[in-house]
Amino acid sequence: MFPKGFYRNKNGELNVQGIKIDALSAKYGTPLFIYDTGLMKERYEVFLSTVKNVKGNIHYAVKANDSVNIIKFFGKLGAGADIVSIGEFRKCVAAGISPKKIIFSGVGKNNDEIEIALRNNISQFNIESEEELYDIYEIANKLKINANICLRINPDIAPNTHKKISTGEKETKFGIDSEKIISIYKKLHELDYINPYGLGVHIGSQIFDFSFFQKAYSYLKWIADNLKKSGYNVPALDLGGGIGIHYERNKKPDFNNYEKIISELFLNSDYKLSFEPGRILIAEAGILITKVIRNKKNKDKNFIVVDAAMNNLIRPTLYDAYHKIETVKIKSGPEKVVDIVGPICETGDYFALNRKFVEVNNDDLLTIRTVGAYSSVMKSNYNSRVDAVEILIYNGRSYQMKEIDTIQDMISKEKIIDFL
């Protein structure tokens, strides 16, 4: 058995499932994303044990990493999926996930997407406005297909996370005002082909203070309980995701505290519960390997220029996110304060600023940790850069996850206008 995750052997060389990272870089090139299925499986099983007492169903949040192979891996472990587009839906189907285990979330489902989802008997729609409800109602009536509807509540809770990933506050685009939820839920019972299925809440991502979950879930349950007391059927509650992970230090997520909260609220209830973990299942299972192009020194700054860029990993640029960075082979010697930057023509193209780092040479390999979620999935081809190769490590072997378009492939897909 190999250690789970990425570890160093007795020679200080970074490994995954018995394979040296520098050997993988030599085989596939850089930049290179590497995903460890051993750690993915461990995280899934821990989360599953956390929600088993309340008979919770796990729906992997595909937006975290939409690779068909990663979706398929979690599907084989028993997960359903939470999606926000028909593109994600088609990837889930390709990965073998039954539409009956897929939840369709998001504020911007268009009519074509709604129709495709209905024709494929999707499990439920998490809807975010009354206007969306009537769009689904009209399409469901036209098709004569029942739609399971879950109303997403906006509870106006700020969970002390980055503003760009806080999704439960009044001023965000997400969810339905809590004052309107009861009246809209009652309306569901008056509409043909609309099946009132439940209520949901998702207040954001990277949440470490679980009192915010306690507050949101308690409010959700209070509304559901009151609807049931009034004679309305509320079969299901969707509790979303959002448990934080530690990017800066090796500390596991606080599953015990989360389990305590959901058990206290739902252990003896008859609600069918859904959970939508994403980052917590996949983030730590991914690393990005990048090669040093050169060192550069300005008057007051030292730079390490690498061959990965913000088009591969935009989180530091977008969220000022921290990622642990280290050399693939242990190096000793003096440290200096550096910026670790990519080759793209943007000042914001960086992975670390003002960080103490050991001196490195051209062609040294660096590893950027905890990039399994919201990293490759947010890639671009800015500056006409090709995608990084992505590989999956399973049972001590490496597998390339998809073909990469060359620059010539990219050019061939453009339609050259004749008269220019």
CB 21 within 8 A of CB 36: no
Q: What is the DSSP string of 346-381?
A: -TT-EEEEEEEEE---TT-EEEE-S-TTTTGGG---
The residue among 198, 262, 197 whose CA lies nearest residue 53 is 262
Distance of CA 270 to the CA centre of its chain: 29
Measured CA to CA, the distance from residue 180 to residue 249 in angstroms comes to 42
92 is catalytic: no
Measured CA to CA, the distance from residue 273 to residue 199 in angstroms comes to 10
**How many CA within 13 A on the CB side of residue 362?**
3
Measured CA to CA, the distance from residue 175 to residue 106 in angstroms comes to 9
DSSP assignment, residue 5? S
Question: Helix, strand, or coil here: 238?
Answer: strand
The residue among 179, 201, 181, 182 whose CA lies nearest residue 262 is 201
Amino acid at 211: S
Amino acid at 364: D
CB 148 within 8 A of CB 125: yes
Question: Helix, strand, or coil here: 318?
Answer: helix
Helix and strand totals (H; E) in the chain:
12, 21
Q: What is the DSSP string of 34-90?
A: EEEHHHHHHHHHHHHHHHGGGTPEEEEEGGG---HHHHHHHHHTT-EEEESSHHHHH
DSSP assignment, residue 226? H
Measured CA to CA, the distance from residue 112 to residue 122 in angstroms comes to 14
Measured CA to CA, the distance from residue 238 to residue 383 in angstroms comes to 41
Which one of the listed residues 190, 231, 270, 345 is annotated catalytic? 345
Question: Helix, strand, or coil here: 289?
Answer: strand
Cα separation of the two ends of the chain: 61
Active site residues: 345
